Amino acid sequence: MFLGLRTVIYPAADVEASKAWFSKILGTAPYFDQPFYVGFNVGGYELGVVPAGDEVGPGITYWGVPDAGAALAQLVAAGASLHSEVTDVGDAIRVAAVREPSGSLLGIIENPQFVVTEVTAATAGPGR
């Protein structure tokens, strides 16, 4: 069912400060920068920052799936509890999340544009 890791989303009380910090450690500016979402491409994978208000919780990792609806149904049938329904976030990208039996959040993402980028010593930035 899983195609591999795709995206990690970090909620932030101060999106601007978080954006500046990630820009510094990644050595690059975000490729997408809006008040509702800041996105960085890290070796072809997505690192996102979203506003969280005062209650910043843990980040969530999204596993790639070919069909978010079918994967969500399969996860729930296997004993996970629904955290968030399948949502279209634009560009034919669909996400959902469950709580797996131990209580951790597990995200799924259907992203037809996803392409893995090979990271080499020549292309790796700071911290890689």
Residue 99 lies in a domain: yes
In order of 8, 79, 80, 99, the CA distances from 75 in angstroms are: 19, 7, 6, 9
**Coil vs helix vs strand at 18:** helix
- Find out whether 5 and 106 touch, Cβ atoms under 8 Å: no
Name the nearest CA neighbour of 104 among 83, 77, 76, 73: 83
Summarised one tens digit per residue, pLDDT across range 19-28 is: 999 999 999 9
Q: Quick one: which H or E segment has residue 70?
A: helix 68-77
- The whole-number pLDDT of residue 53 equals 74
Residue 123 lies in a domain: no
Residue 117 lies in a domain: no
Summarised one tens digit per residue, pLDDT across range 33-76 is: 999 999 999 988 999 999 987 767 788 999 999 999 999 999 99
Summarised one tens digit per residue, pLDDT across range 97-120 is: 999 988 889 999 999 988 776 666
- Supply the CATH number for residue 50's domain: 3.10.180.10
Q: Is the pLDDT of residue 125 over 60?
A: no
Q: Is the pLDDT of residue 126 over 60?
A: no
- Measured distance CA(74)–CA(5) in Å, rounded: 18
